Chains A and B, each alone.
Chain A
Amino acid sequence: MSRARMRGRPLLHTSYASEMALFNTPAKRAWFGALLAVAVALPFLLTDDILQLLALCCVAAIGAIGLGLVTGYAGQVSLGHAFFLAIGAYAAAAISGDPDGRVIGFGVTNMLVWLPAAGLGAAAAGVLVAPLATRLRGLYLAIVTLGLVFIGQHIASEWSSLTGGVGVGRPAATLSVFGYQLAATGAFATRDQKLFWLMLALLLVFALAARNLARSKVGRAFTAIRDRDIAAGVIGVNLARYKTIAFAVSSFYAGCAGALLYTVSGYFDPSSFSLLLSVQYIAMVLIGGAGTVSGAIAGAFFITLLPRLTREVQAWVPFISTQPNEVPNVFQVETILYGVLIIVFLIFEPRGLFGLWVRARNYWKAWPFSY
């Protein structure tokens, strides 16, 4: 009764539940609904190659949200995201792999098994790494997590019975639930359409879970640690505990993203999990906007679509070649763009794409004033 009466008074909160609601204003609810409706309708509007790319974006977004939790929310800079992605990817591939194949496989193709297993495997690794984070800060933590990437790469290239070896690789996990193929071209839709819907649904679940975590006691503890870990400790935040949770949750996200990432292309190679992958994820978080879930999603889409965009741009800028052996070529432009974009965003809009959105929103929110 009182709720109905309070319509149009978005600031009149009569309970903490309403104040902390995920969508605490009608505008947010409406925009979210509209965006979701457009996203669900996309497969009918776009061609399959773009849908495949967008499905990849959704998975990358899950990984970026994970990194956003540990780096953006809890403030622990981690360059080891590629390591956790690798653990997830190999765990999932091994569990669902063909038992009689060239590489290790256990034949459990059910996604409901391999996806959580991949996440938990990565989370376990995250818990093992977390003690480092409780002892180190800032640059030192970044260097140590960088070490993880090299350890991971070394193991991946040497353990060829699992990974298939450098330059050969192995098939990714199979997308099926209780024997039903989730992404197979059928009468109703093509593989890529289904793939997009599946990844979109998973992104939705992971994103909402992250938003929910961020507004909870744990999320507040993360923010407190990010803003000043000593102060957080003084006000009663158990640093070791929450840094461990941050790494565990972040690695869980990374593990799940890693498991899903290569189901789109179906095949992957140990050299994928290089430092570049970690840097790409850092770029997603920074360009998108650290400390926000929607920012991480925006960043993931932007960075994942960047190669495609540069290729589109190439048509307009003829002196850039598409051949890798000519200079300048699109791959170089792409690599340079990562760096330039990170620099530009850190200098001009440290809050990332999300910051741009906030600026635009605040302009209208403050209307007719400026503040």
Chain B
Amino acid sequence: MTTDTRVKAAVTIASRVREHARATPDAIAMREKDFGIWQEVTWTEYWDTARTVAHALLALGIEPGDRVAIHAENRKEWLIADVATVAVRAATVGLYPTNPASEVGYLLRHSGARVLVAEDQEQVDKALAVLDDCPDLERIVYLEPRGIRHRYRHPKLMCWEDLVLLGVAHRDANPDALDERMAAARSDDIVTVIYTSGTTGPPKGAMLSASNVDFAIRSLVEGGGFTSPPPGPSDLLLSYLPLCHVAERIFTTWFNAGAGTQVNFAESIATVQANLREVQPTVLFGVPRIWEKILAGVSIRLASASPLKRLNARVWLAVARRIGDTLVRTGGTHTLSTRLMYAAGWLFFYRALRERIGVGRVRYAASGAAPIAPDVLRFFMGIGVPMHEVYGMTENTAVATGNRPGRIKLGTVGEPHSEVELRIDEDTGEILTRHPGTFVGYFRDPAATAAALTEDGWLHTGDIGEWVDGTHVRITDRAKDIMITAGGKNIAPSQIENELKASPYIKEAILVGDRRAFLGALIGIEPDTVGEWAQRRGLAYTTYRDLSGKPEVRALVQSIVDAVNGRRAPVEHVKRFRMLPKELDHEDGELTATQKVKRAAIAGLFADLVEEMYG
């Protein structure tokens, strides 16, 4: 092993960025909207800043194996800090911007991060509140000085500009220090600790090594595991999901470092739709919630359009449904008739619609990180967005399965990527994967690691699945979410929930009914669309709670529930439901940082509603 490292340093995202800076110094690496325009960063500027920050980390005494935490929205400093950290052979720990102080404290303490890069006053305040519990934390570097500079006098605080100056000084004094450190990089270096969202219990930190990430880049990016042809420097991506999550890390950092794609940072999650229109990305990844929200937005805006436009939309959406159906049958390959239909619709509707919602130039769209209703995928396929459902998880560096262009099977998560061994346990139905991307283990949690990994290297994914036609994999549900009704029938709640959520009016649907006589549901409405709906009917309302309590809204939800029930066997019918009186929120402990519902917490918080349903 020692001879290996002396001969050749392991390939990391840092060495890849350095390579891009050398090969295409003036090409655009990323764009960030600032003062109204998209400021461009070239590869030279990117690598130069990353190198300086890496020197600063050396100056701060960061040793191989140390952790550096980043607590910021997606922005160029996130990538720079990440690359710098990997360059000095330390591991990056991402914190969700929405993490409340208590979770920040847990993550900082558990990861033992020595340096924290915090975005602004809000995140600095959270860190300072829990500083006493985090003995390892030595420095808090803040990016936005507003509200901090001249007001906070904590000795551990430092602004980004000072960090860069520190790096410049270190670089001048020790010009070779970083190159030496990078040359010593080994493929088993831990490059990042990704804390999984933790729908049950505290988050667990999955350790990914340099070789894990390298495998993911080779398999998903360079090998064209997702897109065909593989991504390249002419591809634009929009970075808007939290970078602490493995999915966005792939599409932002690894696509960028691996294939040289151009990253465009959305201003915030609230401006994603506007930013999509501006950037018109060519590759777009979204979690189901994003796709559902785009679909809901299209529905309400079409519903409130002028009569002629409504008629036009109705005609072409009907055609899109037919195109979508055909594409679903053919696996995503156009036939002559769908091509003709699409060409006509392109002229009148699809081109404008796609342009308006920002997917006009998308050549590859993917949904992952949670199950999605097939109807949503079908809609996007129908209007000409090549939509693919993919599957992976932090623990296997997100390398598992994906629907390939032209070989799509709706309702499945696709075929295993090349070099991926995937099997389904015959007794439990659990999916297991094995490949070089399987994670090293949970940080400081050998028990959990042992539970997740078998001795011969198989990873327990915790997902129940089945083979479809021997090639594609369909996920039934998370193993721990499967419900058993009083009648003894196994029910996968997420499928029913997703069918409910495919309606533009429903934002959250949480099935209950484990060991109960029948299925019930807690339903949260989408305030935008239902508000619009109420407005069109002249229905006055004040707050979310008021709106969701209206009998008319209840009737609307009932009609959606009935429609979903109509497609299912009686044992899977949602017999009763209750409206959630509030929007679920991360801060209130109802959602994880990735907006996944914490079932246990919900069951506790809304126990009265559930009891009322069964009472």
Which residue of B40, B277, B280 is within 8 Å of A8 (Cβ)? B280
Instruction: Kindly provide the distance from the CB of B31 to the nearest chain A CB, expressed in whole angstroms.
Output: 7
- A371 CB–B CB distance under 8 Å: yes
Evaluate contact between B28 and A9: CB separation under 8 angstroms.
no
Evaluate contact between A13 and B309: CB separation under 8 angstroms.
no
Given the contacts A368-B305, A368-B356, A370-B306, A14 and B312 also touching, CB distance less than 8 Å = no
Interface residues as binary, A12-30 with B (CB distance below 8 Å gives 1, 0 otherwise): 1111100100000000000
Evaluate contact between B309 and A367: CB separation under 8 angstroms.
yes
- B39 CB–A CB distance under 8 Å: yes
Evaluate contact between A14 and B37: CB separation under 8 angstroms.
yes
Evaluate contact between A5 and B301: CB separation under 8 angstroms.
no
- B133 CB–A CB distance under 8 Å: no
Instruction: Kindly provide the distance from the CB of A1 to the nearest chain B CB, expressed in whole angstroms.
Output: 8
Interface residues as binary, A63-78 with B (CB distance below 8 Å gives 1, 0 otherwise): 0000000000000000
Residues facing B in A225-251 (CB within 8 A) are none
- A11 CB–B CB distance under 8 Å: yes
Evaluate contact between B305 and A370: CB separation under 8 angstroms.
yes
- A2 CB–B CB distance under 8 Å: yes
- B482 CB–A CB distance under 8 Å: no
Evaluate contact between B313 and A14: CB separation under 8 angstroms.
no
A1 to B40, CA, bound (A): 13
Evaluate contact between B278 and A16: CB separation under 8 angstroms.
no
A14 to B306, CA, bound (A): 35
A5 to B40, CA, bound (A): 13
Residues facing B in A320-371 (CB within 8 A) are 367-371
Instruction: Kindly provide the distance from the CB of B372 to the nearest chain A CB, expressed in whole angstroms.
Output: 24
A19 to B39, CA, bound (A): 12
Q: Which residues of B contact A14 (CB under 8 A)?
A: 31, 37-40
Q: Which interface class (under 10, 10 to 19, 20 to 34, 35 or more) fits B?
A: 20 to 34
Evaluate contact between B279 and A9: CB separation under 8 angstroms.
yes
| B298 to chain A: closest residue by CB | A369
Evaluate contact between B279 and A12: CB separation under 8 angstroms.
yes
- B228 CB–A CB distance under 8 Å: no
Max count, chain B CB within 10 A of own CB: residue among A2, A14, A19, A368: A368
Q: Which residues of A contact B352 (CB under 8 A)?
A: 367-368
Max count, chain A CB within 10 A of own CB: residue among B26, B31, B38: B38
Q: Which interface class (under 10, 10 to 19, 20 to 34, 35 or more) fits A?
A: 10 to 19
Instruction: Kindly provide the distance from the CB of B45 to the nearest chain A CB, expressed in whole angstroms.
Output: 14
Instruction: Kindly provide the distance from the CB of A13 to the nearest chain B CB, expressed in whole angstroms.
Output: 5
Q: Which residues of A contact B306 (CB under 8 A)?
A: 370
A44 to B317, CA, bound (A): 48
A5 to B312, CA, bound (A): 32
Which residue of B38, B234, B316, B349 is within 8 Å of A5 (Cβ)? B234
Max count, chain B CB within 10 A of own CB: residue among A1, A5, A12, A19: A12
Given the contacts A2-B28, A12-B38, A19-B36, A368 and B312 also touching, CB distance less than 8 Å = yes
Q: Which residues of B contact A369 (CB under 8 A)?
A: 301-302, 305, 309, 356
Given the contacts A368-B312, A368-B349, A368-B356, A13 and B305 also touching, CB distance less than 8 Å = no
- B361 CB–A CB distance under 8 Å: yes
- B420 CB–A CB distance under 8 Å: no
Evaluate contact between B280 and A12: CB separation under 8 angstroms.
yes
Instruction: Kindly provide the distance from the CB of B318 to the nearest chain A CB, expressed in whole angstroms.
Output: 14
Interface residues as binary, B558-577 with A (CB distance below 8 Å gives 1, 0 otherwise): 00000000000000000000
By DSSP majority rule, is chain A's interface helix, strand, loop, or mixed?
Answer: loop
Evaluate contact between A13 and B38: CB separation under 8 angstroms.
yes
Instruction: Kindly provide the distance from the CB of A26 to the nearest chain B CB, expressed in whole angstroms.
Output: 13
- B304 CB–A CB distance under 8 Å: yes
A15 to B316, CA, bound (A): 37
Interface residues as binary, B156-185 with A (CB distance below 8 Å gives 1, 0 otherwise): 000000000000000000000000000000
Q: Which residues of A contact B280 (CB under 8 A)?
A: 8-9, 11-12
Evaluate contact between B305 and A16: CB separation under 8 angstroms.
no
- B353 CB–A CB distance under 8 Å: yes
Max count, chain B CB within 10 A of own CB: residue among A5, A11, A13, A16: A11
Residues facing A in B8-33 (CB within 8 A) are 26-28, 31
Instruction: Kindly provide the distance from the CB of B193 to the nearest chain A CB, expressed in whole angstroms.
Output: 35
A103 to B144, CA, bound (A): 73
Q: Which residues of B contact A19 (CB under 8 A)?
A: 36-37
Evaluate contact between B301 and A12: CB separation under 8 angstroms.
no
A11 to B31, CA, bound (A): 14
Evaluate contact between B301 and A370: CB separation under 8 angstroms.
yes
Interface residues as binary, B310-338 with A (CB distance below 8 Å gives 1, 0 otherwise): 00110010000000000000000000000
A11 to B277, CA, bound (A): 7
| A367 to chain B: closest residue by CB | B352
Residues facing B in A1-55 (CB within 8 A) are 1-2, 5, 8-9, 11-16, 19
| B307 to chain A: closest residue by CB | A370
A1 to B42, CA, bound (A): 12
A9 to B37, CA, bound (A): 13
Instruction: Kindly provide the distance from the CB of A15 to the nearest chain B CB, expressed in whole angstroms.
Output: 6
A5 to B36, CA, bound (A): 20
Evaluate contact between B361 and A368: CB separation under 8 angstroms.
no
Instruction: Kindly provide the distance from the CB of B384 to the nearest chain A CB, expressed in whole angstroms.
Output: 14
Evaluate contact between A11 and B40: CB separation under 8 angstroms.
no
Evaluate contact between B37 and A370: CB separation under 8 angstroms.
no
Q: Which residues of A contact B313 (CB under 8 A)?
A: 368
Instruction: Kindly provide the distance from the CB of A21 to the nearest chain B CB, expressed in whole angstroms.
Output: 12
Instruction: Kindly provide the distance from the CB of A136 to the nearest chain B CB, expressed in whole angstroms.
Output: 36
Q: Which residues of B contact A9 (CB under 8 A)?
A: 278-280, 361
| A15 to chain B: closest residue by CB | B37
Instruction: Kindly provide the distance from the CB of B167 to the nearest chain A CB, expressed in whole angstroms.
Output: 27
Residues facing B in A100-122 (CB within 8 A) are none
Instruction: Kindly provide the distance from the CB of A344 to the nearest chain B CB, expressed in whole angstroms.
Output: 23
Instruction: Kindly provide the distance from the CB of B352 to the nearest chain A CB, expressed in whole angstroms.
Output: 5
| B357 to chain A: closest residue by CB | A369
Q: Can you list 30 contacts pairing A with B, beta carbon distance less than 8 Å?
A: A2-B40, A9-B279, A9-B280, A9-B361, A11-B277, A11-B278, A11-B280, A12-B38, A12-B279, A13-B37, A13-B278, A14-B31, A14-B37, A15-B37, A16-B36, A19-B37, A367-B352, A368-B309, A368-B312, A368-B313, A368-B316, A368-B349, A368-B352, A368-B353, A369-B302, A369-B305, A369-B356, A370-B304, A370-B306, A370-B309
Q: A8-B360, A14-B40, A19-B37 are in contact. List 14 more A-B contacts (CB 8 A).
A: A1-B26, A2-B40, A9-B279, A11-B277, A11-B280, A12-B280, A13-B36, A14-B39, A16-B37, A368-B309, A368-B313, A369-B302, A370-B304, A371-B301
* A positions within 8 Å CB-CB of B: 1-2, 5, 8-9, 11-16, 19, 367-371
